[in-house]
Copies of this chain bind each other. A is one copy, B any other.
Amino acid sequence: MGEESIIGKSVPRVDALDKVTGAARYTADLCPPGALVARILHSSIANGRVKRIDTAAAAAMPGVELVVTCFDVPDIAFPTAGHPWSVESAHQDVADRRLLNSRVRYFGDEIAAVVAVDEVTAERACRAIEVEYEEYPPCLTVEQAMAADAMPLHPEICPSNVLKEHSYSSGDLAAAQAEPGLLHLHRVYRTQPVQHCHIEPAVSFAYGEGGKIVVVSATQIPHIMRRVVGQALGLPWGQVRIIKPYLGGGFGNRQDVLYEPLNAYLSQRLNGRCVLLEASREEVFACTRQRHAITFSYHAWARPDGTLVARDITAWSQQGGYASHGHAIVANATTFLRDIYQDEQALATKAYTVYTNTGAGGAMRGYGIPQGCFAADCMMDDLAQALGLDPILIREKNMMRPGFVDPGTGIACQSYGLADCIRRGRELSDWDRLRRAYAQQSGPLRRGIGMAIFTYKTGVYPISLETASCRMVLNQDGTLQLHLGATEIGQGGDTVFLQMASAATGIPFADIHIVSTQDTDIAPFDTGAYASRQTYVTGKAIKKTGGLLREKLFAYAARLLGCDAAQLQLCGRQIVSAAGEPLISLADLAQNAFYGLDYSEHITAEATSHCADNTFAFGCCFAEIEVDLPLGRIRPLKVINVHDSGVLINPQLAEAQVHGGQSMGLGYALSEEMLYDEKGRLRNGNLLDYKLPTALDTPPLCVDFVQTVDPSGPFGNKALGEPPAIPVAPAIRNALLHATGVAVDELPLEPKRLVRLFQERGLI
């Protein structure tokens, strides 16, 4: 069996059995018995300074091995964003973190840490530490932080709290607005901070071994983490070793380097003894990363036929106390706004990223695009409503078309399934009938249908580096090991990589084993799981390496058989002649290659694929809902996502990926929000008070695909990982608009907000 056909086949996940039976081992499972346990003391103010810290009582407690405070740690500022390193300092991430901080910038900031023989002792010791603060009024919103008299959080980085701003314009905005007969709408769309809620908490353990500091961590980005831990500890990067086991969800939170540098430091201070640092759920909420709350002031000018003539958009991104991924998120959102819809005359965008005394925003599935899509597709429906147009028609008039090239990044539309996605969604959702059926309703229960569309670029080129390596190792029985630096983070990467390896080599899928754990000392380099890059960028490395391995197999076989390598083919487990005649099995070839007394060669192949390419994926969401007006409650009836992710490597996994994104989109739309009190303390930082949707909150999830063949994708494929989360919230918001006529401009669409709006509009 040639295995080209393995592409597009829904083979079961290779990690499924281990994961459902509990055999799969995650970071905490691997921590050796007897490891010490670290706990962190977090600040109980949002803005201020630690004046004095008394650790005497804590240090004296039996079982306490180490107490360190913000006054003990090295004065090294480091970045935490999981971006590839840049050799140009101007493109390096903002280095504004220290291992522990005396200048407190959010409620929960890390000010001391305790290492003890067990968790209870460590926790008790943390509580025994006395801290005296100098407290400043917190800046909890962008408005407060940008006020003229606001105290800068990081004066050494920026004198105001604006971490970064940028603007983009094309065309003559003033002239465009002057066109007679235009509809001008101005709306302010607000998105809320939400948390990733991966089930495995942030966890790592660190120990010294072989002159290195080793950190075993639940991370998406082992090779990047190696660099950041090196930076944070002032160590040459080669003296840091990161090991990444199976991982219980990432969603971007683990595209940041969280507590690993501190964990490594604590172990280093204890001469390399093993120290476990596992965050509680409350710490994950308050102290890891969150999706940036972004506010858009959005002006649009359109002709009566729906043609967008011009837009003027300003976005403010609430960064929180530390830069993390910083301005890249809102920059991505504004780029999306210029890509998904085209203005006939002019576009101006301006974006600010603003430090605030809240938890830090970082990467989260979609990386600014769910926010941008909410703004873009709310405006589309608001324009459609004002102009009396069908929401699909106005989109089709203005959306990205084949051949589009982003004027800033140069990223080109290399394959295009957007129009077909909409067409398919329209059919599946029974759009035309339901739009009419729900047009005129009364009574307390009303239904509506809405939709939204998006585009998403696949990797990060040319904004940042795209590179990946792959290694293939022939086993003694003629099977193959696939060795990657790319990470399985629950998304099914391992399975898809194996399918690609099978296609690239011609070796049967069942005969290829993946090395799922990344160890930066030996794993081929890869920047890791983020953007929606791995099947695209790592896929290219797999394809290249597979070709190289084939060459080596054929060369060895030709040497052995005394024939011409160029005439050989691989057919299933056999090397065959050009005429298809079986010549030698891979198993026999491997036996000879390993154990030949006259000649042996342990066949491996390793190659880097530098990827100077990118491409747009597309999709849409159609949502049908029922609204209970008196209760202010939206019940989603059906959510349909249709995606153009190019060729699907594994349709069933692709569908599951979309299900997860739809679920995340539902929470974003309806219930999730991180709520801070006036002191900057997170009020609902746990899984009871934070309203993550459950299975009971989830309607039938419908998924379909339009499979284009992307010429730049290694197997015709393009982004799939993040897109599903993007369009759900605006689709539901637009369904609400359809059902009630109420345009809600702020997420989430939760009962308190809706009841207030329905009351204002006289609906209840």
Footprint of B on A, CB under 8 Å? 14-15, 17-18, 21, 23-25, 29-30, 32-33, 84-87, 207-212, 223, 226-227, 230, 236-239, 271-273, 462, 465, 467, 469, 471, 473, 475-481, 483, 511, 513-516, 521-522, 524-525, 591-592, 594-602, 604, 606, 608, 610, 612
Contact = CB atoms under 8 A, between A and B. Distances in A.
A480 to B, nearest CB: 8
Given A17-B211, A606-B604, A595 B475 contact: no
Contacts of A602: 467, 469, 524-525, 608
B210 A514 contact: yes
A516 B87 contact: no
Contacts of A32: 25, 29-30
B211 A513 contact: yes
B515 A209 contact: no
Contacts of A476: 85, 223, 226-227, 237-238, 525
A479 B514 contact: no
Contact of A210 (B467, B477, B516, B599): B516
Contact of A600 (B30, B514, B610): B610
B210 A15 contact: yes
Nearest to A230: B477
Given A236-B479, A522-B483, A522-B522, A210 B272 contact: no
Given A17-B211, A483-B521, A604-B606, 4 more contacts: A86-B595, A237-B477, A238-B480, A467-B602
A515 B604 CA distance: 18
Contacts of A87: 591-592, 595-596
A465 B595 contact: yes
A79 to B, nearest CB: 14
- For the complex of A and B, the 8 pairs showing the least CB-CB separation, nearest first, are A238-B475, A238-B479, A525-B602, A467-B600, A237-B477, A238-B477, A236-B477, A469-B602
A14 B211 contact: yes
Contacts of A524: 602, 604
A465 B522 contact: no
B522 A481 contact: yes
Nearest to A35: B33
A273 to B, nearest CB: 8
Nearest to A601: B608
A610 B596 CA distance: 9
Nearest to A475: B238
A210 B513 contact: yes
A513 B465 contact: no
A679 to B, nearest CB: 41
Contacts of A273: 23
30 contacts: A14-B211, A18-B208, A18-B210, A18-B272, A21-B272, A23-B209, A23-B271, A25-B32, A25-B209, A30-B32, A86-B597, A87-B591, A210-B514, A223-B476, A226-B476, A238-B475, A238-B477, A238-B479, A239-B513, A462-B597, A465-B596, A465-B597, A481-B521, A481-B522, A513-B521, A522-B522, A525-B594, A596-B610, A600-B610, A604-B606
Which of A212, A230, A513, A514 is packed against the most chain B CB atoms within 10 Å? A513
A24 B513 contact: no
A527 to B, nearest CB: 9
A80 to B, nearest CB: 17
Contacts of A237: 475-477
Given A85-B594, A209-B25, A473 B521 contact: yes
A388 to B, nearest CB: 49
Given A525-B602, A597-B465, A600-B467, A23 B208 contact: yes
Nearest to A273: B23
Contact of A21 (B238, B239, B271, B479): B271
Nearest to A610: B600
Which of A17, A23, A29, A271 is packed against the most chain B CB atoms within 10 Å? A23
Which of A33, A223, A237 is packed against the most chain B CB atoms within 10 Å? A237
Nearest to A224: B476
Contacts of A207: 23
Contacts of A473: 521-522
Contacts of A525: 476, 594, 602
Nearest to A17: B211
B600 A465 contact: yes
A479 B237 CA distance: 9
Contacts of A598: 612
A91 to B, nearest CB: 9
A223 B473 CA distance: 13
A69 B263 CA distance: 47
A11 to B, nearest CB: 13
B595 A601 contact: no
Contact of A515 (B227, B238, B511, B522): B522
A18 B213 CA distance: 12
A193 B203 CA distance: 51
A526 to B, nearest CB: 9
A581 B557 CA distance: 45
A237 B475 CA distance: 8
Nearest to A84: B595
Nearest to A470: B602
A179 to B, nearest CB: 41
Nearest to A605: B606
A208 B736 CA distance: 50
Contacts of A25: 32, 209
A424 B207 CA distance: 47
Which of A210, A469, A480, A596 is packed against the most chain B CB atoms within 10 Å? A210
Nearest to A609: B600
Nearest to A464: B597
A83 to B, nearest CB: 11
